[in-house]
Structure 1
Amino acid sequence: MTTTALPGQAHTRHEQAGPLTGTGLAWRRAVRSDRWFWLVWVLVLWSFVPATTAAYRETISDDAAGREVAAGLAANPTMRAMLGPPFDLLNAGGFAMWRVGGFTAVMSGVMAALGVIRATRAEEEAGRTELLRAGAIGRHSLLWGAILLGLTGSGLLGLLISVSMIGLNTPAAGALCMGLGIALTAAVFVGVGACAAQLSASTRACRFVAMGALGAAYLLRALADGSASDSALRPLAWLSPVEWAPLARPYAAERWWVLALPAALAASLIGLAFAVEARRDHGAGLRPARPGPASAPARLSSAAGLAWRLTRGSSLGWGIGLVIFALVMGSLADVFETVADDPELAERFRRMGAGAQDLQAAFFVAMLGILVVLLAVFALQLFERLRKEEEAGHAEVILATDTARTRQLLAFVVPALVVPTGLLAAIGVLLPLQSGLAGDRGLIPRILGAAMALAPGVWLCLGLGVAVHGLAPRLRLLPWAVVGWSLVVNWIGGVLGFPQGVLDATPFGQLPQLPAQPMAWGPVIVETLLAAALLVAGFWGYRRRDIT
């Protein structure tokens, strides 16, 4: 029997529900789906802070020499640009806040923004949100559930940091200020992620917007902190959300009022996200998608053309960000020569640069060591697009044509190999550009050679990603774990006093660090051949496994 609804009774349960009805269900669903994402991020970021605090005396000794080292670090604009403003390096808490607190705040922003977009726009793009909204659930409940999960993860990170710092016998006020500052920074980017998720129907575009905002905040902070104390650029630091946690001055006469800034901005962004969601259509962004051309251009008729179309936005964004960062940091290279009069401080800088006697060369070695790992992350991200195409069912449609699997895989491997390598070469030129033009013109080709000597490490990480994708796609997190470990080792391994064997246990540890070390072709050739072998293994496996 067919039942016809009477006039006035054709309301769905969704229309009768309040805007936040079912928030608890949405929060539990987000926890069930993303619990490992949040747990791994929170635990890894938390571990940086107590580990650095415990190793404080290995870096700053309790004597006159230690005080001179602390004063030299605080006065060096390059170190301020890299790590943020130091306020009191003569206690373990203040040193930890400077050395890894700012870094943890930035990475917590990455965690928060990606986590919220993952639970909102990615679910909506996949069609799962529409299924949930067919029930008695409010229009804003799914967004609110994702935001609550993001705030929960941010708060948990801050709580763990505060408790562990108190457990290490640092002052409770400083520990609370540090934990709260980092948690509120993450909360700001919960709001950024929530707003970004409303702007476009594409998850990829939303992530690009959120990471672009974070990158701009970091570059603004680095530019302001690296400038002279009387420069007009220094006050610009107050405009960067990732700077507010350090400016609250944990362990250095805390300024609690500063924490009202991230709290207010987070609340405003979350409110804005709800307002925008109320005005956009489900499945669409705030900006409506424009109709495409009636026919595709010839360049999209091949797998390679389509792969480039899918990855060009990420390539452009990463390229612009890394080029600007290389130019800004390269402009500060000459400052390292000013610490040569302090033997103790100069020796510490040389250790940062793989033992280079020239302090300027030590700076370039240290910067390349950080940037090359970021390029490995970029290479994996470009290749990861193929997995997403398979999960969405798009790859199967392409393979139903006369496109061979080898050609399909090659279409995504080539940009993941070529673009990061090209950017590494560009960084090798741009980092020493200002110093080379002002003095030693031979510096530019030397640092370019140093950069390219590290390229096999990027290729090896990509080769591992391709091999895993072709042979054992269930292990897709393995290459990301390798790159994450490399970032930890390069960023804080020296501070924590890791054994040399541990420092070398990364794809970049065995490669020659020019110009601090002599050129060694053996590791370069071995890693290149190993990367090639992994690529071949990935192609072999991809031709034989099921496309899921």
Structure 2
Amino acid sequence: MTGLGTLLRLALRRGRWFYLAWILALTAVVPLTAAAYEQIIDPANADLLIATMTNNPTMRAMLGPPLDLTTAGGFTVWRVGTFVAAMAGIMAVLGVVRSTRAEEEDGRTELLRSGSTGRHAPLVAGVLLALLACATLGVLVAVAMSAVGAPVAGSVAFGAGLALVGATFAGVAAVAAQLTASARTASALGLWTLAAAYTLRAVADGSGDDAVRQLAWGSPVQWMALARPYADERWWVLALPAVATLLLVGLAVVLEARRDHGAGLWAARRGRGEAAASFASAGALARRLQRGQVIGWTIGLLLFALAMGSLSTTFDDMLEQVPQLRAIFERAGGGAEQLVEAFFVAMLSIVAVLVAVVAVQLFSRLAAEEQRGHAELVLSTGATRGRLLGAYLLVAALAPVLLLVAVGAVLSLNQARTTGEWGVVGEVAGAGAALAPGGLVVLGIAVLLHGWAPRLAWLTWIVVGWSLAMVWVGAALDLPEWLTGLTPWSPLPQLPVEKMDWPAVLGMLGLAVVLLGLGAVGYRRRDISGA
């Protein structure tokens, strides 16, 4: 482990803003939810609420089984605990891959190893930094919950559970970085593992079969909740993620010793001797490089829409005895009187932000190609900067829009099948299309920053993170409208609850076009290295 301290400081220097943004955003969500407890839950009716939620598979699948809603701490764990745990996992996966496989792929690790550096030091440094970030998140959550009056023991269990769930996925990412030779594939493998764990949790919690519910113990995302913070804590459960983390990190170290530098244990598939004629352009190359992400996101979001859509016909019965939750869903659904409409609006609002993530990720591939010197090689041919930018921009803009429309259609299929009114499929698909300009504005911000200030590209993720937080907890906390309205989607009509507002839609489209145009101008003027 020669040079571990130096490499850890280097990793901290390179990843400090990445982790800081994640930690602050996730920490803020938790005490805000606890502080709004009395506005949402009437403690006198908490027993009825627990019984209703425990017996309803829909809410169990979405948020997990409520353990104690008579306290702000127990409510917070139920309402946002699993969400924050999953986000901590995403932070850890992206952070570890960023500090390990991505550095190796870009050639920086080879330079470091040319000096006095141990073979495993870069990997251990990247993992240690992620573990430090997870621990910081856990400590801040525990302190914040204690500060709003929650019991200290429950707050410590809550914070420790979140930290250890994130640490588990740091181990998953460390293993994924040894299996594949690409940072993009390693990230995808880690995130798909997290998605599978979350799906297993949802299926287990939503099942009425006790045997199936026991499968939740196999989901790392659920381990924090199984420790029962604020509800007679089971401290021994926290040993599960701790042991899993140690085993995964140990496995990653063993696997690293068995592979060549720059390679993965999974051998890369050999390509064709000659490129197909269809690859004879910058656009064809961009589509090929972005194809995997498009397919992965499409499958994931359509499965999400299918699963959530199956719950749409049960909301009226589920919330009949819980007026507080009914009010939350009505606020999330733009004030809809029909809960099924509120459900569609709330789900599309979440998916719209996720689709913006897709757009930014697809476009970010251009920045990665620049950093690796591949874009310069493409530009040395007959391709111009405008064509290169347009090639990546076309996929980044078109694929998410079509995906949002498709999600809307799939989301409403169960409702259409149940009622026999198939027109609802077109209505909800159209509602998705009406929200698409918001994602294009976010993409425009990404292009603007890439064109004029590539080092500030991370600001785009702040916009996305803020929007996701407002969608996820804004309605539950009943935050002021001026605050929840500070997102690119707030000016757009929420169909089918509201009427179509063409000026707002066209105005946001116009703003997106202006941002894209300004970004293109900057891209054509600056140095291609982005320095």
- Give TM class, smaller chain: over 0.9
Partner of 1:4: none
How far does the alpha carbon of each residue in 1:447-500 deviate from its partner, in whole angstroms, 9 at most, with x for none? Answer: 111111111111111122122222332331222221111111101112233211
Matched residues in 1 for 2:39 and 2:54: separation? 17
Tell me whether 75-84 or 119-128 shows the greater mean CA deviation. 75-84
Partner of 1:131: 111
How far does the alpha carbon of each residue in 1:301-335 deviate from its partner, in whole angstroms, 9 at most, with x for none? Answer: 11011001111111111111111111111111111
2:428 to 443, 447, 451: 447
TM-score, normalized by length of structure 2? 0.96
SS at match of 1:495: helix
Partner of 2:299: 320
Tell me whether 88-97 or 443-452 shows the greater mean CA deviation. 443-452
Residue 237 in structure 1 maps to residue 237 in structure 2: no
Partner of 2:412: 432
Partner of 1:460: 441
| CA gap 1:272/1:340 in 2 versus in 1, 3 angstroms | closer
2:512 to 527, 531, 535: 531
- State the aligned residue count: 527
List runs of 5+ in structure 1 lacking aligned partners.
Answer: 1-19
Partner of 1:13: none
Matches within 5 A, 1:473-492: 473-492=454-473
1:298 deviates by 1.2
1:69 deviates by 4.9
SS at match of 2:486: coil
Whether contact under 8 Å (1:184, 1:259) holds in the other structure is: yes
Whether contact under 8 Å (1:85, 1:246) holds in the other structure is: no
2:252 to 269, 273, 279: 273
Letter matched to residue 307 of structure 1 = A
Matched residues in 2 for 1:505 and 1:113: separation? 29
1:432 deviates by 1.1
Partner of 1:8: none
How far does the alpha carbon of each residue in 1:322-366 deviate from its partner, in whole angstroms, 9 at most, with x for none? Answer: 111111111111110203533724333322211111111111111
Residue 84 in structure 1 maps to residue 88 in structure 2: no
1:251 deviates by 0.7
1:299 deviates by 1.7
Letter matched to residue 497 of structure 1 = D
Whether contact under 8 Å (2:25, 2:465) holds in the other structure is: no
Matched residues in 2 for 1:315 and 1:405: separation? 23
TM-score, normalized by length of structure 1? 0.93
Matched residues in 2 for 1:433 and 1:523: separation? 28
1:150 deviates by 1.5
How far does the alpha carbon of each residue in 1:1-26 deviate from its partner, in whole angstroms, 9 at most, with x for none? Answer: xxxxxxxxxxxxxxxxxxx2222222
Partner of 1:330: 309
Tell me whether 323-332 or 477-486 shows the greater mean CA deviation. 477-486
Residue 353 in structure 1 maps to residue 333 in structure 2: yes
| CA gap 1:217/1:202 in 2 versus in 1, 3 angstroms | same
How far does the alpha carbon of each residue in 1:21-50 deviate from its partner, in whole angstroms, 9 at most, with x for none? Answer: 222222222112212222221122111111
SS at match of 2:266: coil
How far does the alpha carbon of each residue in 1:504-539 deviate from its partner, in whole angstroms, 9 at most, with x for none? Answer: 221111111112222222211111111122222222
Whether contact under 8 Å (2:329, 2:346) holds in the other structure is: no
Tell me whether 300-309 or 26-35 shows the greater mean CA deviation. 26-35
SS at match of 1:454: helix
Superposed CA RMSD: 1.7
Whether contact under 8 Å (2:49, 2:322) holds in the other structure is: no
Letter matched to residue 126 of structure 2 = A
| CA gap 1:232/1:329 in 2 versus in 1, 3 angstroms | farther
Partner of 2:42: 61
1:80 deviates by 2.5
1:191 to 171, 184, 198: 171
Tell me whether 293-302 or 190-199 shows the greater mean CA deviation. 293-302
Partner of 1:14: none
Partner of 1:295: 274
SS at match of 2:365: helix
Partner of 1:541: 522
Residue 42 in structure 1 maps to residue 1 in structure 2: no
Residue 386 in structure 1 maps to residue 366 in structure 2: yes
Partner of 1:163: 143
Matches within 5 A, 1:177-188: 177-188=157-168
1:112 to 66, 74, 92: 92
Whether contact under 8 Å (2:62, 2:202) holds in the other structure is: yes
How far does the alpha carbon of each residue in 1:275-299 deviate from its partner, in whole angstroms, 9 at most, with x for none? Answer: 1001001111112334322111112
List runs of 5+ in structure 2 lacking aligned partners.
Answer: none
Higher Rg: 1
Whether contact under 8 Å (1:350, 1:362) holds in the other structure is: yes
Matched residues in 1 for 2:167 and 2:510: separation? 44
Partner of 2:197: 217
Letter matched to residue 173 of structure 1 = A
Letter matched to residue 321 of structure 1 = G
Partner of 2:283: 304
Partner of 2:382: 402
Matched residues in 2 for 1:349 and 1:40: separation? 28
Matched residues in 1 for 2:337 and 2:50: separation? 21
Matched residues in 2 for 1:320 and 1:92: separation? 37
How far does the alpha carbon of each residue in 1:358-398 deviate from its partner, in whole angstroms, 9 at most, with x for none? Answer: 11111111111111100001100000101111111111111
1:248 to 222, 227, 232: 227
Partner of 2:7: 26
| CA gap 1:372/1:232 in 2 versus in 1, 3 angstroms | farther
SS at match of 1:197: helix
Residue 282 in structure 1 maps to residue 299 in structure 2: no
Partner of 2:345: 365
Whether contact under 8 Å (2:37, 2:75) holds in the other structure is: yes
Letter matched to residue 86 of structure 1 = P
| CA gap 1:392/1:54 in 2 versus in 1, 3 angstroms | same
Matched residues in 1 for 2:400 and 2:291: separation? 12
